C-alpha cells in the first residue's frame, strides 16, 4: 500500500489513477476538509513518478475544487461545496456509461455490475484504513 492507498497499475495512465485515488480518499474520509495534502515533491518521491505528473494531478484537483492552495499552509483538501443536482447527474451518467460499456465488453451481467457497485459503496462507508509499512 502506498500514498493515497494506491498501487500503480500498468496499462492505465498514472494521472487518471492518481486523480481517482485522491477523489476516493476525499469521499471516503481518508482526507478531511482542511487537512494538508501531500506536496508535489512528496507525491513524486513516494509514488516514484515524475514530478511533472504529480504537479499536473495537484493542479487538476485544485481546478476541479477538490484541493485549495493556501499561502503559508500549502495545499489542503477543500471544504465540500454543494454541487448542483444537474451537474451531479451528468457526472454520474458519464461514469455509469463507462462502467456499462466495460461490463458488456467483459460479458458481465447487470447482476454482476450491481453486486460490484454495492460492494464498493459499502467499502466507502467504512473509514479508509491506513496501513503502515
* Percent helix, percent strand, percent coil in the chain, to nearest 5: 55, 5, 35
Average pLDDT per block of 10 residues along the chain, 133 residues long: 69 88 82 92 92 96 93 90 68 84 94 92 64 38
Q: Selecting from 1.10.10.10, 1.10.10.1100, 3.40.50.620, 1.10.260.40, what CATH number does the domain 3-77 have?
A: 1.10.10.10
pTM over 0.75: no
Torsion angle, alpha carbons of 114, 119, 122, 123, to 10: -140
Amino acid at each position: 500500500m502506498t500514498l493515497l492507498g494506491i498501487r500503480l497499475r500498468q496499462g492505465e495512465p498514472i494521472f487518471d489513477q492518481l486523480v481517482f485515488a485522491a477523489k476516493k480518499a476525499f469521499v471516503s474520509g481518508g482526507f478531511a476538509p482542511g487537512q494538508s495534502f501531500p506536496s508535489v515533491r512528496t507525491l513524486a518521491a513516494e509514488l516514484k513518478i515524475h514530478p511533472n505528473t504529480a504537479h499536473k494531478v495537484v493542479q487538476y484537483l485544485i481546478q476541479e475544487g477538490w484541493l485549495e492552495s493556501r499561502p503559508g499552509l500549502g495545499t489542503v483538501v477543500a471544504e465540500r461545496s454543494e454541487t448542483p443536482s444537474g451537474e451531479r447527474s451528468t457526472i454520474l451518467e458519464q461514469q455509469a456509461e463507462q462502467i456499462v460499456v466495460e461490463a458488456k465488453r467483459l460479458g458481465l451481467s447487470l447482476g454482476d455490475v450491481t453486486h460490484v457497485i454495492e460492494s464498493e459503496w459499502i467499502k466507502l462507508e467504512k473509514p479508509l484504513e491506513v496501513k503502515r509499512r
